[in-house]
Amino acid sequence: MAIENRIRRLRFDAGEMTQKDLADRVGVTRQTILAIENGKYAPTLDLAFRIARAFGVPLDQVFTFQGD
């Protein structure tokens, strides 16, 4: 997948926030957070912004595009 993310790192920096905590904050299931973290699922723009807001950082600090 061309989109990489730093969610695991950001969770760690946010006091070892669990996947469940993040999922509850952004309104999705824990399995969806797991799939995004593992690069198996690309979130919609809406969810991507909600994840970034949950960490209090800009979007490009959570997701980066690695394609051409």
Partner 1 sequence: MSYGEREAMTGLITSLIVVALFLWHLSGQHGDGVFDGPEALQVWARMVLLLVAWSIGIAIVVSIGFHILYGMLTGEKPDDRRDERDRDIERRALTWAWYLLSFGLLGVIIDLAMGATAFRAMNLVLALCAGSEIFNDGVKLWLYRRGA
In whole angstroms, how close is the CB of 15 to partner 1 at the nearest point? 23
Q: Which is nearer to partner 1, 31 or 64 (CB)?
A: 31
Phi and psi at 47, nearest 5°, equal: -65, -40
Which of 2, 4, 13, 38 binds partner 1 (CB under 8 A)? It is 38
Copy the structure tokens of residue 43.
Answer: 């979130």
- Cα three-residue angle 37-53-3, rounded to 5 degrees: 35
Work out whether 29 is an interface residue with partner 1 (CB under 8 A): yes
Query: Looking at this protein, which amino acid is placed at residue 43?
Result: P
Positions that interact with partner 1 (CB under 8 A)? 27-32, 34-35, 38, 40-41, 43-44, 46-47
